[in-house]
Structure 1
Amino acid sequence: MTGAPVLRAATRVDVPAIGELMRRSVLDVFPRFHDERETAAAARYLTEPDTVLIDDGTYFVCEAEGQLVACGGWSKRDKLYTGSGAAPGDDRRLDPETEPARVRAMFVRGDWTRRGLGRAILDRCVETARAEGFQTLVLMATLPGVPLYRSFGFRELRAAEVPLPNGVVLDGVSMEYILDGEGES
């Protein structure tokens, strides 16, 4: 495969490559925003592919030259982010009329940043979440993602902490995007 990256729905076959992409992205991008300990913890705890998203058809990858270079998606379930631990209601389906969908697990390989791949994935998230009746998207942004989400139109709700299982706490931002039904973001 050559040329422009192709955006497509992720499949179970992609899981190992998604995990590798996530870890590479964290190791490439997080050091610009986080210290060595925070980066190492993020690479360990925020990079486990969530197969529920893949099975739900709400997770996407960008493939270029036979390699995955970006991934991300949204969830119609109650889990806010990977690494948040397991909670009893994580698999509960959200009510699109009253609850926001969750943007989840957005990663772009360091050598592919600033090429519109994150925005393309967010456009797909908006399109497909809106088609399922959701009115709002929310996310917990780590610092590397905040500029993308702001430029896309997410508004910051509050500063937040992202606690990881080993005790490391990352700075984060809780953000929201209203799906107004007007097609384009």
Structure 2
Amino acid sequence: MEPVQRLAVPADAPAIAELMRESVLSLFPAYYDQAQVASAVVHIAGLDLALIEDGTYYVHEAGGEIVACGGWSRRNKLFNGSVAGADERLLDPATEPARIRAMFVRGDWTRRGLGRAILTACVDAARTARFTRLALMATLPGVPLYKSFGFTEVEPAELTMPDGVVLAAVAMERAVDLNGDAR
């Protein structure tokens, strides 16, 4: 069964939330300890419905199941653990980077190009919206994908979750060629 990429719709929310949870439980233990994984399930694997409402969130569906998800945002929120209200302001495409947000792949569907396909769609959409840069806050499992897609490390980061648990992360950016290819 070949996965099909499409924009997420509100009815997808429960399946996306479960995918996020499964992805963290499957992929994070290779990079984080048990307390960090448990915290990430609660604080990182939370669906921001604004991404779906804004029409900037994609899913890959295979056999009636959502197996990958991710998107971009024109709002001022870098990741789910950001300060509440940070996403209310729209970003200025001329001076600020669009955000890559909430990328998750089910553990048994990794390394099949789904993340890359979602990133390509994000770059194309951000380009159409006239953004010249993309930014993201990568958890450690995502860093190899983002590097392979042309993102560069800006700086290492420590994300303190609301429960006090700290996760290592990496702030990353990449340019968007307004006339070029997404890859």
Q: TM-score of the superposition, structure 2-length normalised? A: 0.97
2:94, 2:130 within 8 Å by CA — same for their partners in 1?
yes
Q: For 1:1-185, what aligned pairs fall within 5 Å after superposition?
A: 3-87=1-85, 89-181=86-178, 182-185=180-183
1:56 Cα deviation after fit: 0.6
Q: Which consecutive residues of structure 2, in runs of 5 or more, have no partner in the other structure?
A: none
Opposite residue 48 of structure 1, the aligned amino acid is G
Opposite residue 12 of structure 1, the aligned amino acid is P
Opposite residue 33 of structure 2, the aligned amino acid is D
Q: Which consecutive residues of structure 1, in runs of 5 or more, have no partner in the other structure?
A: none
Aligned residues between the structures: 182
Could you tell me how far apart the structure 2 residues matched to 1:69 and 1:176 are? Answer: 25
Runs of 4+ in structure 1 over 3 Å off: none
Encode CA deviations 1:17-47: one digit per residue, 9 max, x unaligned: 0000000000000001100000000001111
Encode CA deviations 1:67-125: one digit per residue, 9 max, x unaligned: 000000001000110022303x4211101111100000000000000000000000000
Once superposed, what is the RMSD of the aligned Cα atoms?
0.8
1:84, 1:163 within 8 Å by CA — same for their partners in 2?
no
1:162 Cα deviation after fit: 1.2
Could you tell me how far apart the structure 2 residues matched to 1:149 and 1:126 are? Answer: 12
What secondary structure does 2:117 align onto?
helix
Identity value in percent: 58
What secondary structure does 2:18 align onto?
helix
1:143, 1:171 within 8 Å by CA — same for their partners in 2?
yes
Could you tell me how far apart the structure 1 residues matched to 2:144 and 2:14 are? Answer: 28
Q: TM-score of the superposition, structure 1-length normalised? A: 0.96
